[in-house]
Amino acid sequence: MLTMRVRAILAALETIAPLRLAESWDKVGLHVGSPNTKVRRGLVCIDLTQAVMDEALAAKAEMIIAYHPPIFRGLMRLTDATWKERLLVTAVRRRMAIYSPHTALDAAADGVNDWLCQGMGKAKVEPMVANLEIAGAGSGRIVTLQRPVSLKTVALRIKQRLGVGHLTVSTPLGVSATKAKIATIGVCVGAGGGLFAEQRPKVDLLVTGEMRHHDILDATCRGQSVILAGHSETERPYLPHYCERLKTVIPGVDWRVSRADRSPMTFV
């Protein structure tokens, strides 16, 4: 089996999602490990949990790409006191590399946002906040459909794209999901409320994973509809596509999507 150094893998990952595309508050890049570590097997997940770490150890993976940064808030120590510290200590002991692309992968061309937009029908898709350096990249997306459709139709398309059974939908007062006509859509996977509040895109519909109650109320009072699909539910379905891209640019590593990775939330 072939091997690659982490250093070479990091360079290849930059071709998919340059880290300079990440939001200023984000904690992207190599979190644990040495650039000199040799990698034969890699695991891809959204959240690095104990179940995912157990899977990585069983698969003898030397690298984990965790979409959400495992180290986001500052750590004062590395002990066995908390579940996150235990995971990081395990990675260090096993000489395992951990990397996070997060919002860089959201903003990149053919990244998470673009993948979700592709399921909304024939449309023009452009960044909500364009990156002046890299064509097609930037924060969020604005989708302009070729033909306006009902909100219900858009919701069905999103459910099919994400493979989810439920969405949370909010409409302006007195407007039903069947009567609301959608021609333009603002999209931000994960938690898009901050971006939407900052940019206030002039669209008919806002689509994201989660938003605060008062941000939803503000949007509907402006005449916009809102669809919430769940935070990681808007991100996790992208992983198989991402894994195929990894196999193309980093063919020396056996990349797999984690089977243990799942949303911490469910419907009952």
Tens-digit pLDDT profile for residues 26-63: 999 999 999 999 999 999 999 999 999 999 999 999 99
| Residues sharing a CB contact under 8 Å with residue 9, sequence separation 6 or more, in sequence order | 39, 42, 63, 97, 99, 250, 253
Per residue in 79-116, pLDDT (tens digit) is: 889 999 999 999 999 999 999 999 999 999 999 999 99
- What does each C-alpha distance from 145 to 91, 125, 154, 164 come to in angstroms? 45, 9, 10, 22
The SS3 call for residue 176 is coil
Q: Do domains 4-105 and 109-234 have the same CATH topology?
A: yes
| pLDDT tens digits, 166-219 | 999 999 987 887 778 999 999 999 999 999 999 999 999 999 999 999 999 999
Type and span of the H or E element at 98: strand 97-100
117 neighbors 123 (Cβ within 8 angstroms): yes
Greatest alpha-carbon pair distance for the chain in Å reads 62
The fold adopted by the segment(s) 109-234 is 3.40.1390
Angstrom distance (rounded) from CA 107 to CA 102: 9
**Rounded CA separation 184/138 (Å):** 18
What is the torsion angle, in degrees rounded to the nearest 10, for the CA atoms of residue 149, residue 151, residue 152 and residue 154?
70
Closest CA to 129 of 184, 191, 200, 204: 200
Does 1 score more than 70 pLDDT?
Answer: no
**Cα–Cα distance, 162 to 150 (Å, whole number):** 19
pLDDT band at 3 (very low <50, low <70, confident <90, very high): confident
**Is domain 4-105 in CATH 1.10.287.4070, yes or no?**
no
Of 130, 123, 84, nearest to 107 (Cα)?
A: 130
Q: Where are the domains of the chain?
A: 4-105, 109-234
Q: Mean pLDDT across the stretch 218-225?
A: 95
Report pLDDT digits (tens) over 130-147: 999 999 999 999 999 999
| CA 195 to the chain's CA centroid | 15
High-pLDDT (> 70) share of the chain, %: 100
Percent of the residues in the chain that have a pLDDT greater than 90, as a whole number: 90
d(CA 39, CA 154): 42
